Amino acid sequence: MRVKQLASSSVVQLIAPTEDKFEHLTFSPDGNWLLYGAVPKGEVIVTLWQVPTLGGAPRKMLDDVDSGVSFSADGKRFVFVRPSGYAESSVLVLNADGAGEPVAVARTKDGCYLSPQWSPDGRQIALALMEKSNPLSRLVGFMDASGGPFKPAGRAAWAAIENLVWAPDGSGVYASAKPALEEPRQLWFISALNGEVRQLTGDLSDYNGVSVSGDGEAILSTKGTRSANLWKVSLSGSADQSVKSAVQITSGTAVVEHPSLSPDDERIAYSSFEDGRQSIWKIAAAGGAPVQVTTSRSMTPNWSPDGKSILCWLLPETLPFALSLELFPSMEEPRSRPSKCPIPKRSGGDLTAMLSPMPSLKAARPDS
């Protein structure tokens, strides 16, 4: 572990090379200490340590820490999460120097708390809750810093949340999160004033993490894009010859996966994010225009022996997460789930709304 001084560009090694895993690195508000979680190789329990940022001996602070730490506005305390059993956890507060015993401000037996973040005014803690009844559901909410119930922000739920960061004015938190496992992470704003949830990005890119400028006028995130297409490669000849003679079948920027060749070798079914969500498509093995088979969220197609139907997994539109198998005709018109299993409308709206320009940050946050 190394730290680089920006003013002098000097690099200081804080921790010698090790096979331990480091996570949740956090500077103390005065910049004198770096707090981090360490997991020895082959173990799962996280131990919290601190080390001087100018170099020195690390000091063990706590065992069994299940999150990063977040400091209070005055820098005298920090909040963290500790597991207390299967799908149970506690939110605890400890003095910044590690003195004394942690004080629990919240406990739950209904899931696991995640990513606690102390508000700029010190009055609230924002955090996520992974529900015990549905491990693929994460709620974002707020609680009083002195203790009290967890209050979810509206009815919004996500399948995964990367991190939470407070807006400097305390109006709410920004999050990097995905509403479904197979979808890319997007950026969101969750109001601490009224629980309103606003999506800031809505494209096919993956936004990994989020940070906010000190004046609250800009946010920073790593934007990643990924694409994959189908190619046909001959198995005769050398590997180099096969690669050089490969023929591309599909084109575009969407991710294509799970290809399945029809029994007559004339068609290929596959899953793709071509329309912004994962669904089943087909294309002639020789190439051409792709045809959408399903409009429901679906994956992993397989042809029937007669080539007249395609069997695939259907993914739920809303949590809880439960897969179902459905058979679709390999026809020219895209088909959705049968009417006996109606699909709730997607909360994000249609694709046009999803691809709308990112609003300004001031527009995204309600007036305080």
- Domain end point (choices 225, 259, 284): 225
Block residue for tokens 């004080």? 103
- 125 and 251 together in one domain: no
- Domain end point (choices 65, 82, 108): 65
- 316 and 183 together in one domain: no
- 221 and 236 together in one domain: no
- 95 and 181 together in one domain: yes
Among the listed residues 94, 92, 67, the one whose alpha carbon sits nearest the alpha carbon of residue 161: 67
Rounded to an integer, what distance in angstroms lies between the CA atom of residue 185 and that of residue 37?
Answer: 24
Question: How many domains does one find in the chain?
Answer: 3
- Residue 361 maps to a domain: no
- Residue 365 maps to a domain: no
- 146 and 212 together in one domain: yes
- 23 and 161 together in one domain: no
- Residue 159 maps to a domain: yes
Rounded to an integer, what distance in angstroms lies between the CA atom of residue 72 and that of residue 80?
Answer: 11
pLDDT digits (tens, 9 = 90+) for 218-238: 999 999 887 889 999 888 888
- 242 and 212 together in one domain: no
Which CATH number fits the domain that encloses residue 297?
A: 2.120.10.30
- 84 and 216 together in one domain: yes
pLDDT digits (tens, 9 = 90+) for 295-354: 888 889 999 999 989 999 887 665 444 556 666 776 545 554 433 333 233 333 332 332
- Domain end point (choices 176, 191, 225): 225
Indicate yes or no: pTM above 0.85: no
- Residue 122 maps to a domain: yes
Query: Which amino acid does the sequence have at 103?
Result: V
Distances 131 to 1, 4, 111, 319 between C-alpha atoms, Å: 34, 39, 4, 11
- 157 and 270 together in one domain: no
- Residue 354 maps to a domain: no
- Residue 46 structural domain: 1-65
- 238 and 177 together in one domain: no
- 131 and 181 together in one domain: yes
Contacts of residue 255, Cβ cutoff 8 Å, sequence gap at least 6: 226, 227, 228, 272, 273
Q: For 321, which DSSP code? A: P
- Residue 124 maps to a domain: yes
Residues of the chain with pLDDT under 50: 319-321, 332, 336-368
The pLDDT value given to residue 324: 62
The pLDDT value given to residue 236: 84
Contacts of residue 48, Cβ cutoff 8 Å, sequence gap at least 6: 35, 36, 37, 60, 61, 62, 63, 65, 69, 80
Query: Which amino acid does the sequence have at 254?
Result: A
- Residue 340 maps to a domain: no
- Residue 220 maps to a domain: yes
Rounded to an integer, what distance in angstroms lies between the CA atom of residue 186 and that of residue 206?
Answer: 6
263, 269 Cβ separation under 8 angstroms? no
Structure tokens at 237: 């000849």
- 221 and 237 together in one domain: no
